[in-house]
Amino acid sequence: MRCKKHVFMGDKDGVHCFKCGFTMTHDEYVKSLRKEDKDEELREHDSVSDDLVSESENTSL
């Protein structure tokens, strides 16, 4: 069973989720964190772009 919000705890073999028992190696965990950071940066960039488009539409009136 996989949960939506993992609660990870590290050990000598990597990390495991207390809620569902999902496990990852250290390298897999680091890779997943980097992917989350990249996804978050893309979402922030998209929202800034949307704000700039909205502002330009308002000033063109």
User: In whole angstroms, what is the distance from residue 10 CA to residue 40 CA?
Assistant: 24
pTM attached to this predicted model: 0.56
**What is residue 47's predicted lDDT score, i.e. its pLDDT?**
66
Nearest to 27, CA basis, from 40, 45, 44, 15? 15
Q: Where are the domains of the chain?
A: 27-55
Assign 4 a pLDDT band (cuts: 50, 70, 90): confident
pLDDT per position as a tens digit, 7-61: 999 999 999 999 999 999 999 999 988 887 777 777 776 765 555 555 555 555 5
Rounded distance, CA 6 to CA 2, Å?
A: 8
